[in-house]
A and B are shown apart, each in its own frame.
Chain A
Amino acid sequence: MPPIITTEKVMTEKILLAHGSGGSMSQSIVNNNILSLLGNPILNRLDDSAVFEAQGKIAFTTDSHVVQPIFFPGGDIGKLSVCGTVNDLSVMGATPLYLSLALIIEEGLSKDDLHKIISSIKEAADEAGVQIVTGDTKVVNRGNADKIFINTAGIGVIADGIDISGHNAKPGNKIILSGTIGDHGIAVLSKREGIGFETKLESDSAPLNKLIAEIMQVSNKINCMRDPTRGGLSSTLNEIAEQSGVSIRIDEDKIPVRREVAAACEMLGLDPLYIANEGKVVVVVEAEDAEKVLAQIKKNKYGQNAAIIGEVTEKHNAKVTMRTPFGTSRIVDMLVGEPLPRIC
Chain B
Amino acid sequence: MEKNKSYSKPEMAAGLIQSINQHAVKEARYMEFCGSHTVSVMRNGLRQLLPQALTLTSGPGCPVCVTDNSELDKAIALAKIPDVIVTSFGDMIRVPGSHTTLQEAKASGSDIRVVYSPLDALEIARSNPQKSVIFIAVGFETTAPTVAASILQARQEGLKNYYILSLQKVCPPVIRALLDSGEVNLQGLICPGHVSAVIGANAWNFIAEEYGIPCVVAGFEALDILQCIEMLARQTEKGEAKVEIAYKRGVTFDGNLTAQNVLAQVFEPSDAEWRGMGNVPNSGLKLRPEFADFDAEKKFEFDPGPTKVQKGCICGEVLRGTKSPLECKLFRKICNPLNPIGPCMVSSEGSCAAYYHYGESND
Contact = CB atoms under 8 A, between A and B. Distances in A.
Given A195-B116, A317-B361, A328-B45, A343 B36 contact: no
Nearest to A338: B90
A258 interface: yes
Contacts of A200: none
B49 A326 contact: yes
A326 B361 contact: no
Interface in A256-310: 256-259, 262-263, 266, 269, 271, 305, 307
Contact of B2 (A259, A313, A316): A259
Contacts of A266: 4, 7, 220-221
A341 B116 contact: yes
Interface string B145-174: 000000000000000000000000000000
The 3 closest A-B pairs by CB, nearest first: A328-B45, A262-B4, A340-B90
Given A325-B5, A328-B48, A336-B337, A344 B120 contact: no
B227 to A, nearest CB: 13
A194 B359 CA distance: 33
B116 A194 contact: yes
B362 interface: yes
Nearest to B43: A330
Contacts of A305: 1
Interface string B99-137: 000000000000000111101100100000000000000
The CB with the most chain A CB atoms within 10 A, among B2, B34, B43, B362, is that of B43
Interface of B: 1-5, 7-10, 13, 34-36, 42-46, 48-49, 61-64, 89-91, 94, 114-117, 119-120, 123, 138-140, 142-143, 192, 194-195, 220-222, 337-338, 348-349, 356-363
A255 to B, nearest CB: 8
B119 A194 contact: yes
Interface of A: 180, 192-195, 247, 249, 256-259, 262-263, 266, 269, 271, 305, 307, 313, 316-318, 321, 324-331, 333, 336-344
Given A263-B4, A318-B359, A324-B44, 13 more contacts: A257-B3, A266-B221, A305-B1, A324-B43, A325-B13, A326-B46, A328-B44, A331-B357, A331-B360, A337-B94, A340-B348, A344-B63, A344-B192
Most chain-B Cβ atoms within 10 A of its Cβ — which of A256, A271, A318, A331?
A: A331
Residue in B4, B34, B49 with the greatest tally of chain A CB atoms within 10 Å: B4
A318 B64 contact: no
Contacts of A340: 89-91, 114, 116, 348
B201 to A, nearest CB: 17
Contacts of A316: 361, 363
Contacts of B2: 258-259
Contact of B360 (A262, A263, A330, A333): A330
Contacts of A324: 43-45, 222
A344 B361 contact: no
A327 B13 CA distance: 10
Contacts of B63: 343-344
Contacts of B13: 325-326
A331 B1 contact: no
A344 B139 contact: yes
Contacts of B45: 324, 326, 328-330
A71 to B, nearest CB: 20
Contacts of B89: 340, 343
A308 B323 CA distance: 40
A330 B44 contact: yes
Nearest to A329: B361
Nearest to B221: A266
6 contacts: A180-B1, A259-B2, A318-B359, A318-B363, A324-B222, A326-B44
Contacts of B115: 194
A336 B335 CA distance: 13
Main secondary structure of the interface of A (DSSP, over half): loop
A30 to B, nearest CB: 33
B194 A344 contact: yes
Nearest to A261: B4
Contacts of A256: 1, 3
A343 B143 contact: yes
B349 A344 contact: yes
A310 to B, nearest CB: 11
Contacts of B142: 343-344
A66 B183 CA distance: 50
A343 B138 contact: yes
Contacts of A271: 43
Nearest to B44: A324
Contacts of B5: 325
Contacts of A321: 361, 363
A331 B48 CA distance: 13
A330 B363 contact: no
A269 B43 CA distance: 12
A74 B363 CA distance: 39
A307 B356 CA distance: 29
Given A330-B360, A343-B63, A343-B91, A269 B1 contact: no
A195 B117 CA distance: 8
A128 B8 CA distance: 39
Given A317-B361, A343-B64, A194 B34 contact: no
Contact of A342 (B117, B348, B362): B348
A269 B361 contact: no
Given A194-B119, A325-B8, A330 B361 contact: yes
A169 B140 CA distance: 46
Contacts of B48: 328-329
B4 A259 contact: yes
Contacts of A331: 357-361
B68 to A, nearest CB: 17
Nearest to A252: B8
Contacts of A344: 34-36, 61-63, 139-140, 142-143, 192, 194-195, 349
A333 B43 CA distance: 11
Contacts of B61: 344
Contacts of B349: 342, 344
Contacts of A341: 116
Nearest to A264: B4
A326 B48 CA distance: 10
Contact of A328 (B9, B46, B120, B192): B46
A321 B43 CA distance: 11
